[in-house]
Each structure stands twice: as C-alpha cells, then as structure tokens.
Structure 1
C-alpha cells in the first residue's frame, strides 16, 4: 500500500459470516471473512459468480446483516446505527448494485440526482422532481459516462448498459467518501469499461483520494486500476495481493475451483 494513504481504516470485517437457509439446508455465503481497507485504497474483488462478492459488498453497505462477526465502516460499527445517524452514514457511502435500482419511469436527471437525496432535505428533493436542481453537475457526470444529452430521457427507455452508467453517474454526483460497486461494467461495452472504472476511482470533488471497493470479472481491469486484488471463493478470502502479483495461474485457479 502506498505510503501516501491515510493511516485510517475505511472499513474492516472481522470473522464475518452470512448464512442463508435454503430448503432444509444452510448456504454459507460468507464464512469467517477478515478484510481491512485503508482510507484511499482501491480494492478489487475477484471471483466466480456465487463466490460471495456481492454479499460482502452488501454487508459493508449495511444491506445485509451478518450472521456472525463485526463490521466497521468509516469508523462506525454499522450494526449500531439507527435513524438519522444511519442516514448520515449512508450519504457518505455510494453503492452501485447490479440491479441498478433506477425507477424506469423517472427521467435520467432525477435518477442521477437520487445520489444527493441523503444530503438534501425532503422538501428540496421533492421540489427537484418538479424543477430539477443541479443540472450542470448531472450533465457533467453523464458526459463522463458517454451519456451526454440524455438527462431528460425516460430511464426505462435506455439500454441495460446505459442504465448501468446512469447508476455510476448517480454515485459520481453523490461524491461519497466510500464507493462500493458490484460488477459496475457487467453490461457496459468493453471500450467504455476502463472509463467507467477510472471515473469511480477518481478523486472526490474536494481532491481527496476516494476509497473504492468493487467486484470485477476482468483481471486486466483490476491490474490497471486498483491497489489490491482480493480473491473470493466459496465465501472465503483466498488471496489478497498487489495487482502486479496477480498472475494468470492464480486467476485460473480461482475460477477453476468453483
């Protein structure tokens, strides 16, 4: 890890397990995961579908409660947060999920502005649905996603790849301290994938190095953009190393052992 990173933990997981009951049995989505990410680090999670990457990100985002273990995010034990403290915390964490979470009936500008609802009052959020606020910032974020000129389009009329980039633009407008992105380029054209990951890993509006944890299937994207690569298999961390040490044999073993 470069010495320029702050000596401050952005997130830490200790002995985190997540179990789901399926039929008459139990599925161990995560099994005793220990992971620490320092402020300003960019970390990629690699692993096959079903390995536990999405569950790990959902735990950090506070969307899934672990069966066992502890989770601290931005200095807060997230299991203890309630009410206004939880809303304030969530405003500092940007989440890009595979399902996007974009109401298709809304115009693109409203979905992108959704990234700011955590820092806006309810009245401001409602008034923006009538006369959209922050159009300049929204248009700039859309331009970075190669979606210029689409702010007034109905979101449901866009392709899946375009909607995925709208979700990324929403996170850019939010300007969070921590970004959690679950396969943010799964539906994006290969020529744009690097641009999307570059935008997610870019410094915050204040110029600070943002903490980013994202799951990917493309090892080359990980090598080009992050500081650490964490391999996940069967709900466990199987390696945690600099991208320069990620060789083809490791990648083959990671996916062949499913």
Structure 2
C-alpha cells in the first residue's frame, strides 16, 4: 500500500500543471530578492497591506491576451506596466487555512464579483483569493471581471493592494511583447495606404500628371464638338454670303397695256 501511495503521489506531482505568477508588489517592505514563491508573498500580506490573488488553474491568460489585446485595458496595463516580479514553474498554490484569507472558487464568470466581495468582510482579510477552474474564458470578460475585483478592494480599503495573477501560461513576458509588436506591425501594414516614395529624376513625370489632370476626356469632347459647330457656322455664313439677288427682281412689275386702257 505504501508503494502504491508513493506512485500516486509521484503521478500527482508529474501531472500537476506548471503555472506562472505575475506579481505586482506595492508593499515596499518586501525586497525583490527575497521573493522566492507566491506562498512567501501571501504569508507576508497583512490586513493593513492585503493581497489579491487571481488564480487561473487551467486557463492561459497571457496567451489569450496576446491573441486578442483589443479592448482589454486592465490586463494590458497590468502586464505591460504593473508586473514587478515573475515567478515561473510554480505548481498548484497552497491555500492558507487561517480566517484572514477569503477564498472563492468558480468555473464560469457567473457570479457578480461585487456581490461576492460585499459578503466577504474584506476589511478583516489579508488575502482575497479568487480561483477560476475554467479552461477557456473570453479575455474581455475576464478583463472586466478582474478590474471590478481590484477596484472594489482598493476603494473599499483605501489602499493600493498587492496583486498576484497566477495562470497556466508558459509564455514569457518577452515573448508576449514580441508577439504583440509583430501583430501591431502586421495590422499597421495591412490597413495603411501605399504611398509612392519614388521621386522623378526630371520634371517630365510631374508635367505629365498635371497635363493629364487638365486635358481630361470631357474637356477634349467639348473642344471637339465646339470645333464641329464652328465649322458648320462658317459654312452656313459662306452660303449666305454667296447668294446674289438682283435689285430688279424686287421691283413691282408694271403693264403698259393696262395703263392705256
């Protein structure tokens, strides 16, 4: 039986998914060099300086954000400017059992975080821990959910809390930044209009462009029609001027016989 239990324990350790903790420390009393695990950070948290733990047991938040980082303000700000420490290859985090730690577990984002936090007595907690067991989430919904949690705790306690975001990611922040830069560059090239960078060696090409703008097809047709009408007018005037009418033909004829009668 002992042998079987050892094998089972070994299997659990092998199958335990490695995770990465992205930590935003506001507590100046914690020295970066002494941070060796997320458990250490949780243990150093106090009621006056609490910590918010956002753990995604199966979901890969950073990879989802890299695939779609539009309209995700909280996570973008967190990963690009808020992270102070990154702890990789962490196994499943151990939950504290004391009464000063509030832990809420869920699979889907079906619970309103405000309703959960209002009943949690966060003012008496040194750690507020949300565990998400779902494998995939809409990154935009996650962004709004996490932002609501952090804003409520900070405004309720009037303190800048330390934040630990633990997820099943294997992507590093450097890979994330490179991936986002590549996507931004490709998006810019796709939507930008091509501009000509070549300059003519002489003024002939520029002159041709100007002439092509002036001598349009409509203008040429108007000139052609005007020329034809002008020719017709000239021909008509020449015909009129060539007519010869004698003055005698316009006089009234008289019959001398009628006068003698």
**TM-score by structure 2 length?**
0.30
Which is greater in Rg?
2
Q: Which has the higher contact order (CA 8 A, sep 6+)?
A: 2
**TM-score by structure 1 length?**
0.30
